[in-house]
């Protein structure tokens, strides 16, 4: 079995038939095995990580290959009070994702106007990848990581100078700087797809790279991406 997780691109949003034309289906058919697609539109990397981790821990003894597509760095997964109850939601810094709820849009706007989260979210993503990589290796699982928009090298460069050893006050600090270089070096780069999805499709420039309305992939792009991921899998394993 192959397990997929990610955001709307892995989900197959805007395809007329995502269950037949999406790249998860194409990859699974090529390998003649079943698959699970846990991707959801608007997903943050934290949601992707938590759901993948939960599935992995529930299926340690199963023969599963994992293909995980990480989303935009700035998306957040938060528990907010909205419409009378606490809800887990993906918060996205984009007006196109506004929701018709009482508080969510206000919280979303306040959060992204008052918090600088890109660097810390980059570090979080690297930590998610390390956690999954460690478990995949320990339990002998095949896996690939890929990114929709950002190269992983860029993600690292954006946060590599952050000292995560700093406390709440200026005089509170660990004895030595705690940077993310050791975390980055720990990642197995052979399991990370080099090109992000956007750059890959731009290089090939098919006529239907994106569906115009929401900039999601068309059928041709799903076929190209499935071929690219299959090549990576075959080269690594």
| CA dihedral for 170, 80, 10, 137, sign (positive or negative) | positive
What digits encode the pLDDT tens for the residues 132-153?
999 999 999 999 999 998 889 9
Higher pLDDT, 165 or 175: 165
The verdict on 27 and 88 lying in the same domain is: no
DSSP secondary structure letters along 6-69: -SHHHHTTT-TTHHHHSHHHHHHHHHT--EEE---TT--HHHHHHHHHHHHHH-TTS--EEEEE
Per-residue pLDDT band at 178 (split at 50, 70, 90):
low
Adjacent-strand bridge partners of 203: none
The verdict on 130 and 184 lying in the same domain is: yes
The verdict on 100 and 171 lying in the same domain is: no
The verdict on 105 and 124 lying in the same domain is: no
Question: Which residue segment(s) compose the domain that 28 sits in?
Answer: 2-73+118-236
How many helices (DSSP H) and strands (DSSP E) are in the chain? 10, 8
The verdict on 195 and 109 lying in the same domain is: no
Above 70 in pLDDT, residue 85? yes
- The residue from 96, 116, 136 where one domain ends is 116
The verdict on 110 and 149 lying in the same domain is: no
The verdict on 183 and 218 lying in the same domain is: yes
The verdict on 168 and 204 lying in the same domain is: yes
The verdict on 100 and 123 lying in the same domain is: no
For the chain, the domain total comes to 2
The verdict on 231 and 155 lying in the same domain is: yes
Choose the weakest-confidence range: 75-79, 93-97, 191-195: 93-97
Inter-residue contact 148 to 6 (CB < 8 Å): yes
CA-wise closest residue to 233 among 66, 12, 15: 66
Average pLDDT of the segment spanning 33-41: 96
The verdict on 46 and 84 lying in the same domain is: no
């Amino acid at each position: 079995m192959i397990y997929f997780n990610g955001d709307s691109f892995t989900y197959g949003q805007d395809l007329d038939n995502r269950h037949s034309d999406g790249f998860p289906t194409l990859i699974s058919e090529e390998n003649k095995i079943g698959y699970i697609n846990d991707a959801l539109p608007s997903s943050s990397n934290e949601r992707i990580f938590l759901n993948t981790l939960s599935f992995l821990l529930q299926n340690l003894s199963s023969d599963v290959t994992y293909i995980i597509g990480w989303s935009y760095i700035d998306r957040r997964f938060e528990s907010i009070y909205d419409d009378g109850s606490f809800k887990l939601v993906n918060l996205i810094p984009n007006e196109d994702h506004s929701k018709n709820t009482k508080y969510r849009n206000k919280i979303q706007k306040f959060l992204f106007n008052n918090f600088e989260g890109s660097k810390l979210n980059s570090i979080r993503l690297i930590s998610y990848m390390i956690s999954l990589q460690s478990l995949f290796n320990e339990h002998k699982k095949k896996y690939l990581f890929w990114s929709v928009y950002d190269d992983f090298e860029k993600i690292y460069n954006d946060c590599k100078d952050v000292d995560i050893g700093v406390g709440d006050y200026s005089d509170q600090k660990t004895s030595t700087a705690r940077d993310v270089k050791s975390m980055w070096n720990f990642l197995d780069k052979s399991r990370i797809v080099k090109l992000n999805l956007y750059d890959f499709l731009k290089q090939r420039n098919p006529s239907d790279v994106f569906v115009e309305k929401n900039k999601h992939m068309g059928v041709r792009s799903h076929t190209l991406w499935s071929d690219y991921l299959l090549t990576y899998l075959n080269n690594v394993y």
